[in-house]
Chain A
């Protein structure tokens, strides 16, 4: 069993606090993705779990053992780095077995573990090469191989695909997903790319400014974000945010139209708020209509995205099905009131 539990984790570098009171429980065998904009503390959090960075306060448990003060090598973790961090002067085989050799494991065990990891990752033919003689994708597989050989309870990945080109990235995404199924280990994966998060994660942890904003399954975050930040961060193209004003108990005026908001409690008349609507929800055939002028058309084949401006000057991206308009045309964008997410001026969700 290898749960990972973070309790009241804080981290400061000098006087700057970069991680604020993080509490998190990651279940055994779960593929968890930490996602957030660059500089939000994802790597720092991961490095604290790895034991590469000390916590300023708080407790880290791996597999029900308190590892807060433990050496990295004794935590039962393995880590895959963004730059692969392969030892350039060692062959692939030596890279993968380095940890076992440092720990003075018996030869037969080393040979066996190397062989099995090499087989899983199809690295058998590359074992005698040096990292410089490998392609980016092969290097990343060796880095993963080095992790597998350690037989860890928890795999940690820090943006492992961001140095690869787009095509290879998709392919490695699938490979890592399959690896997770085969090994069944707990994996924590850091990325700033929400598409990676959405496609790979069992559970996503959205971070901002060193704080956990929301934890949940990909579709939970997508459909039910707790605030405007999560709503805007998850989903591509981004959710549109329009400013609205409450004209009556549940009546909201936005971009020249009014509609009845799907909220449980009443709103305060005159209150301003943000109205979030995803591009694909603007392709409805009927519902509330917003008029806008088309600026740019992105035709992707199956669908198209219109980049438009409303009369009040707000930008809206909308998915579009059917016959494409001309640039400069006025179009009617329709949405169901139920598809709208409302946020207070501070960003908190209004339900």
Chain B
């Protein structure tokens, strides 16, 4: 009896915690939703009240004035290409590091995944971006994003590589594959679930980032969606209704990608990374 009771109590407590956590995350979403539909004056306080009349035209204004179409494609370009690059290079690296566990390779692996935890030093990063002439360029921000995603991507994929029997590599070698063919024709197809996971997570991280373009892209032509909010939020004037509408439009693609890829994210995270 006592066991059943205590189980029930934990269950209820868990539910309460989940509801509480949901409230915390949902509150800003709710605020953004209601304020996106208000007039500029009504939204000035960012209050929780419902709009007195619906201002759906906010979205049209935002898309036009904020050059949201351009920044949408910028975001797709940055997040898509950097996620693809990060996934590919991380997979190649994880394959080699996991298959040849020499002392040196272990050291390299730990050095690389330290990047998950260590903060970025913006001073040196800026120096390097200037030195390589990558600052304020699209390729520059793509390379930067790819690099930032690589540590976590390697961490995710590394454990998965181990779950692929080495005898497959041997069989491929006997069938005439060199290291690259072995990777692309045998290993990579078997890594598909974790590669999809890595791609999605990396895509979402980059899509949601606000800091890097703020520092390393000065031309608004190159801004991703997250920065477009600056068009409505300045020193002298804050249009909270437009800011809210912009934020909503920025979230939508993320939601679509997340919902479409949710299945892969869960399976990829649980079956591989845990073992790694």
Contact = CB atoms under 8 A, between A and B. Distances in A.
A88 B190 contact: yes
Contacts of A102: 175-177, 181, 185
B171 A87 contact: yes
A87 B185 CA distance: 10
Contact of A52 (B165, B173, B177): B173
A99 B167 contact: no
B28 interface: no
Contacts of A81: 167, 170-171
* Most B C-beta atoms less than 10 A away, residue of A82, A83, A85, A99: A85
A73 B176 contact: yes
Interface of A: 47, 50-52, 71-73, 77-79, 81-83, 85-89, 98-99, 102-103, 146, 150
A150 B21 CA distance: 60
Nearest to A81: B167
A150 B167 CA distance: 18
Given A87-B186, A89-B190, A99 B176 contact: yes
Nearest to A88: B190
B181 A99 contact: no
A83 B175 CA distance: 16
A83 B165 contact: yes
Interface of B: 165, 167-168, 170-177, 181, 185-186, 189-190
Given A77-B174, A78-B174, A102-B177, A83 B167 contact: yes
B176 A87 contact: no
B176 A103 contact: yes
B259 to A, nearest CB: 27
Contacts, number: 56
Contacts of A79: 170-171, 174
Nearest to B173: A72
A73 B167 contact: no
Contacts of B171: 79, 81, 85-87, 146
Q: When A and B form their complex, which 4 residue pairs have the shortest distance between CB atoms, in order from nearest?
A: A73-B176, A99-B175, A85-B167, A85-B171
B175 A85 contact: no
A50 B169 CA distance: 13
Contacts of B165: 83, 85
Contacts of A72: 173-174
Contacts of B177: 73, 102
Nearest to A95: B171
9 contacts: A73-B173, A73-B176, A79-B170, A79-B174, A85-B167, A87-B171, A87-B172, A102-B185, A150-B175
B184 to A, nearest CB: 11
Contacts of B172: 87, 98
A51 B176 CA distance: 11
Given A50-B170, A79-B170, 10 more contacts: A50-B174, A72-B173, A73-B175, A81-B167, A83-B165, A86-B171, A98-B172, A102-B185, A103-B176, A146-B175
B24 to A, nearest CB: 43
Nearest to B182: A102
Contacts of A98: 172, 175, 185
Contacts of B168: 85, 87
Contacts of A77: 174
A52 B176 CA distance: 11
Query: Which one of B175, B189, B190 has the highest number of Cβ atoms from chain A below 10 Å of its Cβ?
Result: B175
A243 to B, nearest CB: 44
A52 B171 CA distance: 9
Nearest to B178: A71
A107 B45 CA distance: 72
A119 B178 CA distance: 30
A52 B181 contact: no
Nearest to A79: B174
A263 B152 CA distance: 72
A85 B170 contact: yes
B146 to A, nearest CB: 27
A114 to B, nearest CB: 14
